Amino acid sequence: MTPFDFSLIFVLLLATQFSVRLYLAQRQLRHVMQHRDQVPIAFGERISIENHQRAADYTRAKVSATIFEMLVHSLWLIVLTLGGLLTQIQSWIASVWLVWMMLFQLGVMVLWPSWIAPLFNRFEPLQEGDVKTAVESLLARCGFSSQGLFVMDGSKRSSHGNAYFTGMGKAKRIVFFDTLLAQLSPREIEAVLAHELGHFKHRHLVKRLLLSAAFSFAALALLAWVMDQSWFYRGLGLIPLPGSQNAAALLLFSLVLSVFLFPLQPLMSWWSRQHEFEADAYAASQTDAADLESALIKLVKDNAATLTPDPLHSAVYDSHPPAPIRIARLQQLRLELGSTVPAAR
């Protein structure tokens, strides 16, 4: 392969990616705004027209910002590679890039839950009460142990509610945003946590880590091969400095990899949505599915999530199923269970 051939392939893929993403963004804008003035029938009594319109306007602003970001990112990538800017600054960037990546991974996996996160937010033990009682009962039923239950002051930055698991080994803990505790009832919080435990029980994190490890192995193998191919550097406008070929290859590979992997986006989104359905089903087996349903409705309102996403846009990007689909599945689960209150409770 010649450098010109690879340059042409890169430009065509980048242009295709930008065109497809722009097309999907325009579909999303058009679909959401077409349904802005009418709440879906299934939510007519639970979502006001004002909340529905606020979500549509928020989606429009977010998609418009995404379009601008796409344009800037694509142009910047061209300037860095074919424009030759990377050649001028490669020695400094390569060194900083490698150090930053190592520190970032170390921070996320080991230092974040106990050392870094408390620098930005305050974490306090969950107080005694109905929420803690319900949560501890759920954890006992599910056989899940953690270092403790904590409340984070997420309200100082946002009104959005959330809950998550974090840490590894002895540092493993469950964290609730104070906004979530304020928005949901104890039963709804229990249902949301049961959903997260569903991810744990189905080993979704392990599966994703294994996939990530397999992908990393394949990517490193590919990197080792292209590292010795002159067309890889010259086709992307880079002339490695003496002694910096390895670092330059890693930097260049990291910059352009997303362009070549974009076709996998719909598959990864589909896989993630299947995990969400499995976690919802687990939650319905441990708690009342109606509690998770009502919690989702409240979170949809709070997060200004649209109830009417474009189906194709959602299929490509959404890691979580749209709320109407998730709630329809939960209602079906309630019918299949034959009771609104699972025997486990």
Rounded CA gap, 146 and 172, in Å?
5
Report pLDDT for 195: 93
Which 3-state string (H, E, C) describes the chain?
A: CCHHHHHHHHHHHHHHHHHHHHHHHHHHHHHHHHCCCCCCHHHCCCCCHHHHHHHHHHHHHHHHHHHHHHHHHHHHHHHHCCCCHHHHHHHHHHHHHHHHHHHHHHHHHHHHHHHHHHHHCCEEECCCCHHHHHHHHHHHHHCCCCCCEEEECHHHCCCCCCEEEECCHHHCEEEEEHHHHHHCCHHHHHHHHHHHHHHHHCCHHHHHHHHHHHHHHHHHHHHHHHCCCHHHHHHCCCCCCCCCHHHHHHHHHHHHHHHHHHHHHHHHHHHHHHHHHHHHHHHHHHCCHHHHHHHHHHHHHHHCCCCCCCHHHHHHHCCCCCHHHHHHHHHHHHHHHCCCCCCCC
Report pLDDT for 284: 93
Q: Binning pLDDT at 50, 70 and 90, where does residue 344 land? A: very low
What is the percent of the chain where pLDDT is above 70? 84
Once rounded to an integer, what is the mean pLDDT over residues 134-145?
Answer: 84
- Lowest average pLDDT, out of 122-131, 169-178, 221-230, goes to 169-178
Report pLDDT for 29: 96
pLDDT at 90 over 50: yes
Q: Binning pLDDT at 50, 70 and 90, where does residue 117 land? A: low
Active-site annotation holds for 37: no
pLDDT at 336 over 90: no
Rounded CA gap, 321 and 277, in Å?
8
Once rounded to an integer, what is the mean pLDDT over residues 308-317?
Answer: 96
Task: State the catalytic residue, choosing from 188, 190, 276, 280.
Answer: 280
- Average pLDDT of the chain, as a whole number: 85
Which residues lie below 8 Å from residue 282, measured CB to CB, with a gap of 6+?
194, 195, 197, 198, 201, 202
Active-site annotation holds for 196: yes
Q: Whole-model pTM above 0.85?
A: no
- Lowest average pLDDT, out of 4-8, 240-244, 254-258, 316-320, goes to 240-244
Report pLDDT for 113: 60
Structure tokens at 223: 């990197």
Name the residue with higher pLDDT: 111 or 309: 309
Q: Binning pLDDT at 50, 70 and 90, where does residue 343 land? A: very low
Report pLDDT for 135: 87
pLDDT at 106 over 60: no
Name the residue with higher pLDDT: 17 or 180: 17
Task: State the catalytic residue, choosing from 153, 178, 196, 318.
Answer: 196
Highest mean pLDDT among 31-35, 123-127, 136-140, 340-344: 31-35
pLDDT digits (tens, 9 = 90+) for 161-194: 777 777 666 566 788 888 888 889 999 999 999 9
- Lowest average pLDDT, out of 78-92, 93-107, 206-220, 225-239, goes to 93-107
Q: Binning pLDDT at 50, 70 and 90, where does residue 30 land? A: very high
What is the percent of the chain where pLDDT is above 90? 47
pLDDT at 207 over 90: yes
pLDDT at 289 over 80: yes
pLDDT at 101 over 60: no
- Lowest average pLDDT, out of 19-33, 240-254, 268-282, goes to 240-254
